[in-house]
Every structure is written in C-alpha cells, then in structure tokens.
Amino acid sequence: MSEYLIGLIFLVGLWGVLSKPNIIKKIVGLSIMNGAIVMFFVHHGARFGSTAPIREGAETGAAAAAVMVDPLPQALMLTAIVVGICIIALGLALAVLLYRRYGTLDIRSIEAEAWSTRD
Amino acid sequence: MTDPVILLLVLPLGGAAAALAAKLPGIDRRPALVRALTLVTPVVLLGGAVALGFGYAAASAGRVATYTLGGWPVPVGIGLKLDGLAWLSSVLVFGLSFLISLYAVAHREYGPEFYFFFMLLVAGMEGVVLTTDVFNMFVSFEIIAISAYVLIAYHREGTALVASFKYLVLSSVGIFFFLFGVFVIYRELGTLAFADITSLYAAIEDPVRLRTLRLALVALVVGIGVRTAFIPFHTWLPEAHAYAPHPISALLSGVLIKVSFFAMVRIITVFSPGMFAHLLLWIGAVTAIVAVVWALSQRDAKKLLAYHSISQMGYVLAALGAAGGATAAITVSGGPAGAAAAADAGGTLALSAAVYHALNHALFKSLLFLSVGTAVHLTGERNLYRMPRLGRRAPLLAVLFGVGALSIAGVPGFNGYASKVAISTALAGSPAYMLLNLTAIGTAASFIKLSRVFRPGARDSEGERAPAQARERILPPGATVGMSLIALLCVTVGLAPRTALGLLQGLLAPGSGLATMSPAFAPAKLLDTAILLALGFVVYRLTQTEIGGRIAHRIEEHAPGLRTVLLFFLVGVVGFALAATVA
Amino acid sequence: MRKTDIIDVIARKLSPYILLFGFYLVAFGHRTPGGGFQGGVVMASGIILLALGRDPTVAMTAFPPAKLSIAEAASYILLLALGVAGVAVGGYFLENVLPPGFAVPRVGFVFALNIVIGIKVGAGVSLIALHLFREESG
C-alpha cells in the first residue's frame, strides 16, 4: 500500500515537471521525483527492522539483521541524495541566469525569445 | 593480482584536480602557471590512451581485467571491469577527448573551470564504461550530466542556457526513471551487480516477476535512451549540441552519445540479449530518416550537424537491432549463451557493424564539429547561407571539413563508407534498409548544402565581414594537429575497412568465428553508392528551389518546446513498456 | 517584508550550535549515524541560516566565499590524495592505509575521509547558496 502512495508522489513530481511553465516549479517537481525514489528505497530497506545498522559488538549476524534496517539502500540513497542536490542546485543556478537574461521564469516565453533571436 | 584499471578513473580525476589547483590563490594570478595546469588535460588524456594501448593484447585475447575499490569483493564493494567493449569505449573516450582537448587548449579561450568539468566528464564516461553494477552506472551518468550541463552553458549565452536547462529537465526525468528501475531490480532480486542480475534473471519462472523485471529494464533503457537521443527521446540534442562551445559539441556528439549507447547495449545484454531487437531496428531506421529530413532543413550549420548525429545513431541502433541475441558475445564468454552467440555469425557481424559505425561516427562527427565550429568562430555567423565562403582563406580547414563530409556521406575510401557497407551486409534483405538508403541520400544532400561554406567563393578572402579576426591564425598548431590526426584516422579506416572490422570483432566476440563482410569495394556496391550520391545531389537541388525552400523553412520552424519534449518522452516510455509486456 | 527581531536573534544564537552539531556528525560519523556528507550539509545549513535569518552579507563576512572555495578545492585534492594513498602503499584505491597495531587506530582513515568530505560538502553547499543569495541581493 505505502509503495503505491510513494508512487503517487513520484507521479505528482512528474506532473509538476510536465505541466508547470515556471522553471522553479519544474525544478521543485524534479526534487519531488528524487524524493519519491529515495522513499522507495528507504521504505524497502526498513522491511526487517528499524534500528540504525551499526554493530556495537553485542549482537551477532542474524539477531542483528532482524532488528536493523537494510544498510545498502541507505548507502545508495545517500549517494542519490547527493546527486539530486547537485542537479537541483545546478538547475536553480541556471534558473537564476535565465531570469537575469530574459526577465521571466516562464519557460514558454523564454524559449520563444531564445529561438527568435538565434540568428 | 589485480589490474590497474583504476588508473582510468584516477587519471582524469587527477587532471581535474590539476585544473582546480589553478584556481588556488597565488596560482590564479600567474597566467603561465595556469596555462601549464590546463595543459595537464591533454597530457593526462594521452597518458590514458597510451596505457590502454598496452592493454590491447590482453583485451583482444578475451581477457577481462577487473578491479575492486578499497579491496572489498564485488557484491559488497564497487567493482570495475575492462572487457573488449569497455576497452574499445575507453580508447574512444581517451583518444578522442585527447584530440579534442588539443583543439580546446590551442584556442586559449577556456579557463581552468572548463578543463575541470572536461576531465570530470571524461571520468564520468569512464565510470559508465567500467562499472559492474547498475547503481554506479547511475552515479556515473549523473557525473556526466552535471559536467555536460555546465559545459554546454559555459559561455552563458541565452540560447546555450535554455538548451542546457532543457537537457537538464529531460535527462533528469529520464534518470529518475532509471533510478526507479534500479529500485525495482533491488526489490525483486536483492542485488545490483551485473553478473548476479544475469544469473538470477535467467532463473526466474514466475511470469509476474518476469514482467516486473522487464518493466524495470524498460525504465533503465528509457533513462539511457534520453542520453543516446534516438526518437522519441532526441528532442534535447539539436539545441544542446548546437549551442555548446565547439570542442564540447564535438565531445558530446562524438564521444558521449556513443558511451551511453554502449551502456545501453550492456544493460540489455545483462538482462536478456536480443530484447527489444525488433523495436530497436525500426526505431533506428525511423530515427535515421526523420532526423535527416530535419537536418536537411536547417540553416544553422551546427544544428544541421547535431541532427545528423541523431540520424547516424539511427544507423547504429538499426544495426544493433539486427544483431539480436548476438550481443551476448560481449559479456558472456563461454557457456551456452556465449556459444550460441558465437555461432550466430550474422548477428556478430551486425553487432560489430553497429559498434564500427558508432566509432566511425565519433571520428568524423567530431572532425565536422571542430571544422564547422572553427568556421563559426572565424566568421561570427552560424547561418550557413550568410557565412562568407572560406575555401580560399582557409584551404586546410576546407580539406579537413571535406574529409569529414565525405566520410559521413559514405563516399568510398572514407570510414563512413566502410561501416555503411558493413551495416548493409548485416541488414541485407530487411525492409528497414530501404529507410537507411533514403537517409544516405538525405545525408549526401545536406552535406552538399553545408559544403558551400568551405567552397572557394568569388569574394571570400577579404571584404564581406569586418576582418576583426582576419589576422588571427585560422587554426592554431595544436588544433591543426588534433584535427589532422582525426582526419588521418578517418582515411586510414576508410582505406582498410575489413582489417578494422576484423580488429573490432576480435575485441567484441573473442574466439567466435569471424564473420566477414562482403568486399567493400565491389563494383555493385560502388555503383549503388554512386546512385545514392547522385540522388543526393538531386535532392540538394530540390531544396534550393522555392517550394523546397519553403518546406524546409516550415520544418525548421517546427522546433518542439520543453513540454512537447516531455510528452515525447512519456510516449516513448509507454511504447517501450508495451513492447516489453508483449514480448 | 520587514524582518522581525525574533528571527534575527534566533538565527544568530542558533547557527553556531548548528555548526557545532554538523561538526559532531562529521567527527563521530565512523561510529554513529552521520558522516562527512550529512555533517557537511548540516554545517552548510548553519551558514545558510545565518544568511537567511540575518543578512547574506553577514554570512559572507563570517565565511568569505573566496576562502570557502579554497577550502573546497583543497579538500578535493586532499580526498583524491587519500584515495591514491591506498594505491601508493600497494593496495587498492581508497584502501585503508593505516596498518594494524599502528599508533593511530585503523578507523582513523575513515575519520580522515569524513573530515575531508565534511569540509568539501560544507564549503560546496554553502558556496552554492551564497552565490544564489548574492545574485538576488546584487
């Protein structure tokens, strides 16, 4: 059930990217999509237990695995979050430059103006 | 004992560090030192290429070099693998980036940041080439993407910014689909390493799980498809490649789309070789013909070249589709699948033809982008009808452009012809081949059109434009060396087409029975080519008539906006998903 | 829109603690949840809070962007050096170079990586934000 809800969040992000003409909102949409993916992984990683996957020495393999989260998705998602941040930051930087160049955040008017002055 | 594969990643990262060091205080105020640090870029790239040269004997013998980061074994740690395909792609990455960086360094208009991202791009491409698991492929693709966005927007011109932003939005959406595919794989199989995926996928019986995993493969292919830019994911490419700085156009069109193409081949092979074969064959053929129509209609010289990149990748994709299950030869050496693949001589030939054309396209397209880029740089004009003719002023440039143009048009004796013959042998009898023949006509026509820039004109030398840059050297020595080497490679491959193909097959499918293509210079082939070129000239004349010009103008105006681009993408996703569930 | 004193005071009082907490995450990343990236981002958020809650110029005088970019470049080069150190002692890239039984425990390598990554990420993320703020105010 919760996986379908996360899927819904992914689609919300996709809808934002698709339908919003404002470039900041498009970037927010991308961020939502990224967040949904992270939730997919983290949710799946917590299927066994929910404590942090750090061995303090007391518990051994199987007993520890029963209460700990799956550490691999967390490691992966940390990387994915880093990558996501880079993309979002770069997108926002481009948005700032575009705004200063064209004076608007509406991608339709930006594109119309960019291609009309291309020659 | 492990192999020094990590060198291929550390070298470009170290080059990036050198470029970054040029920004440290104390260094940044000393131009000579900054210049020296930017020169590290070509040196490092040459070093990588030379190191790969030493690995040739092992790669052609079918030996797979491996490496694990930090010494942790593969399922836990990050593994790297250098097999035949990876060796070829690495040579492409290092060799061509080296020649392109010579051009960039010679022009002295790029700062240390440029070289930092240039090296990061190379490191990302090497990451994609060498990785052995899906997640690191994602990370490497994103390293590529981030450096590419920055490099495209490097000059901060309005059009380049828009192009970069469009590319960012589309390829990020694509890569999130890719990541979703990674999630589904992890959820279903509990592993992300290529080798484990292959064995676990082959063992699946349950049809529901099989379908889920096929949809995951669709998500992966779609994500990479955006980077490879075939229809319907191509829409970002013309602008991004056309408005990027010239060396970056060459790098993106020449190297990057090949690297993502090879990644796609690998991903499909990891799951089930031959998947989507029929779909890819037709997508390739349609991509080739549609993109060439658009290319023929462009007046912007660099955009014309960018559309041709899409079109030529269509050829490659069609050949890959024809290869079918033979792609197994790349990753599976030995075993039933490998044996079957080795036995499938026609498939092996098609696979080699696809890779052959991809490599040849890398050579001539980067040569074309560099020469046309130089022309744009010299004249300050992108519209090919308004550019002053350069033939007399820059004869060497005209010759270099000529080599590229003759190659892409498929004139015998140049490398484009060699791989087109290989593809025609592989696709013989397929209806899709008709479309590729039409494409060849369009290609010839559009390069006759583009060549007007380089023809010796009546008033080309002095006059038309204020010669602000007239006294500047047309090609700095470094750029001349880089471009001439690329041209030399084009001609060499073109003159020895079968030898080159044999080398490729030895790397891609070591030990398999070598399928040889039909003789390249057979009279029938030459006659066919002559007819196609003549038709190309006719088409060129037609586009110069009034009606032709009007149609061309219509098509040129028809550039999709960002929203249309995204809708195209979704259509592609649905299309691939349908193909996967039906198969 | 006028900024109230409440935000000003809270931002001023809170951001040093956020920086400290970020450093704690970096320093104990090898044995508690946290690590270089997370700690670095928390440190950066302290700087960003200062810039947002008070004024971008305040944050920029406390953390001059020029110095931050030096820190970023230097930590990138250091990180690469740490990675290559593994190769240099005859092992793998990013392999732990500290021998067992050495005066410094082996976990020190992870600690060093965390510190370098923390500086890199903290400086990088705050630089991005400060650049954006500068565009806005200038």
List subunits contacting chain B, requiring 3 or more Cβ pairs under 8 Å: A, C
Q: Do B150 and A90 touch (CB under 8 A)?
A: yes
pLDDT of A26 higher than 90: yes
Which chain B residues are closer than 8 Å to A10 by Cβ?
Answer: 176, 180
Residue bearing the bigger pLDDT, B458 or A29: A29
Report the residue count for chain A: 119
For residue B110, the SS3 value is coil
Rounded distance between C-alpha atoms, residue B150 and residue B118, angstroms: 10
Closest residue to B162, CB basis, from A13, A87, A111: A111
Which chain B residues are closer than 8 Å to A12 by Cβ?
Answer: none
Which chain C residues are closer than 8 Å to B2 by Cβ?
Answer: 92
Whether A57 has its CB under 8 Å from any CB of chain C: the answer is no
Whose tokens are 């084009």? That residue is B490
pLDDT of residue B164: 93
Shortest Cα distance, chain B CAs vs residue A42, angstroms? 10
Residue C130: CB atoms within 10 Å: 21
Q: Do B17 and C76 touch (CB under 8 A)?
A: yes
Which chain A residues are closer than 8 Å to B159 by Cβ?
Answer: 114-115, 117-118
Q: Do B70 and C92 touch (CB under 8 A)?
A: yes
Which chain B residues are closer than 8 Å to A115 by Cβ?
Answer: 159, 559
Eight-class DSSP state of B492: H
For residue A81, the SS3 value is helix
C95: closest chain B residue by CA: B70
pLDDT of residue B462: 46
C-alpha neighbours within 13 Å on the C-beta side of residue B5: 27
Any alpha helices (H) in B272-394, and if so which ranges?
277-297, 301-323, 328-331, 335-343, 345-379
Q: Do A44 and B138 touch (CB under 8 A)?
A: no
For residue B118, the SS3 value is helix
Closest by CA to B316, choosing from B235, B412, B230, B411, is: B230
pLDDT of residue C135: 60
Mean pLDDT of A3-8: 93
Rounded distance between C-alpha atoms, residue B255 and residue B311, angstroms: 15
Which chain A residues are closer than 8 Å to B176 by Cβ?
Answer: 10, 13, 30, 33-34, 37
Per-residue pLDDT of chain B (583 residues; tens, 9 = 90+): 467 888 888 889 888 888 888 877 777 778 888 888 888 888 999 998 998 888 888 777 777 888 887 777 766 778 888 888 889 999 999 999 999 999 998 888 888 889 999 999 999 999 999 998 899 999 999 999 999 999 999 888 888 999 999 999 999 999 999 999 999 999 998 888 888 888 888 888 888 888 899 999 999 999 999 999 888 888 888 889 999 999 999 999 999 999 999 999 888 888 887 788 888 888 999 999 999 988 888 888 899 999 999 999 999 999 888 887 677 766 554 444 555 555 667 778 888 889 999 999 999 999 999 999 988 888 888 888 888 887 777 888 888 999 999 999 888 888 888 888 888 888 877 788 888 888 888 898 888 888 888 887 655 444 444 444 444 567 788 888 889 999 999 999 888 888 888 888 878 876 655 556 667 677 888 888 888 888 888 888 888 888 888 888 877 777 778 888 888 889 989 988 888 887 6
Q: Do A52 and C31 touch (CB under 8 A)?
A: no
CB pairs below 8 Å between B and C: how many? Answer: 43
Mutate to test the interface with C, among A38, A42, A51, A54 (most CBs of C within 10 A): A54
pLDDT of residue B471: 46
Report the residue count for chain C: 138
Closest residue to C77, CB basis, from B17, B68, B71: B17
pLDDT of residue B167: 93
Q: Do C125 and A100 touch (CB under 8 A)?
A: no
Q: Could you tell me the maximum CA-CA distance found in chain C, to the nearest angstrom? A: 61
Which chain B residues are closer than 8 Å to C80 by Cβ?
Answer: 10, 13-14, 17
Q: Are B433 and B281 in contact (CB under 8 A)?
A: no
Mutate to test the interface with B, among C92, C116, C131 (most CBs of B within 10 A): C92
pLDDT digits (tens, 9 = 90+) for A49-104: 777 776 666 566 666 667 777 788 888 888 898 889 889 988 988 998 899 889 89
Q: Are B79 and B5 in contact (CB under 8 A)?
A: no
Q: Do A96 and C135 touch (CB under 8 A)?
A: yes
Whether A86 has its CB under 8 Å from any CB of chain C: the answer is no
Closest by CA to B219, choosing from A71, A5, A7, A32, is: A7
Q: Do A102 and B146 touch (CB under 8 A)?
A: no
Mutate to test the interface with A, among C32, C126, C127, C132 (most CBs of A within 10 A): C132
Which chain B residues are closer than 8 Å to C66 by Cβ?
Answer: 25
Rounded distance between C-alpha atoms, residue B331 and residue B202, angstroms: 15
Query: What is the CA B66 to chain-centroid distance, rounded?
Result: 25
Rounded distance between C-alpha atoms, residue B77 and residue B71, angstroms: 8
C135: closest chain A residue by CA: A96
Closest residue to B176, CB basis, from A18, A33, A90: A33
Residue C117's pLDDT band (cuts 50, 70, 90): very high
Shortest Cα distance, chain A CAs vs residue C107, angstroms? 14
pLDDT of C15 higher than 50: yes
Q: Do B150 and A17 touch (CB under 8 A)?
A: no
Q: Do B150 and A117 touch (CB under 8 A)?
A: no
Which residues have C-beta within 8 Å of that of residue A4, sequence separation ≥ 6?
Answer: none
Which chain A residues are closer than 8 Å to C131 by Cβ?
Answer: 93
pLDDT of residue B431: 81
C-alpha triplet B92, B93, B95: angle, nearest 5°: 65
Rounded distance between C-alpha atoms, residue B248 and residue B110, angstroms: 11
CB pairs below 8 Å between A and B: how many? Answer: 103
Closest residue to B68, CB basis, from C77, C87, C92: C92
Mean residue pLDDT across chain A: 85
* B232 cis-preceded (ω within 30 degrees of 0): yes
pLDDT of C136 higher than 60: no
pLDDT of residue A78: 85
Tokens in use for B526?
A: 């030459």
Any alpha helices (H) in B380-496, and if so which ranges?
395-409, 415-426, 432-450, 477-495
Q: Do B383 and A119 touch (CB under 8 A)?
A: yes
pTM of the model: 0.90
Which chain B residues are closer than 8 Å to A114 by Cβ?
Answer: 158-159, 161-162
Q: Do C83 and B10 touch (CB under 8 A)?
A: yes
CB-based burial label for B64 (10 Å; 0-12, 13-18, 19+): middle
Task: Tell me the C-alpha to C-alpha distance, in Å, between residue B390 and each of B373, B382, C49.
Answer: 13, 13, 57
List subunits contacting chain C, requiring 3 or more Cβ pairs under 8 Å: A, B
Mutate to test the interface with C, among B13, B27, B37, B113 (most CBs of C within 10 A): B13
pLDDT of residue B517: 64
A108: closest chain B residue by CA: B561
CB pairs below 8 Å between A and C: how many? Answer: 20
- In one-letter notation, the amino acid at residue B175 is I
β-bridge partners, A51:
A68
- Tell me the percentage of chain C whose pLDDT exceeds 90: 20
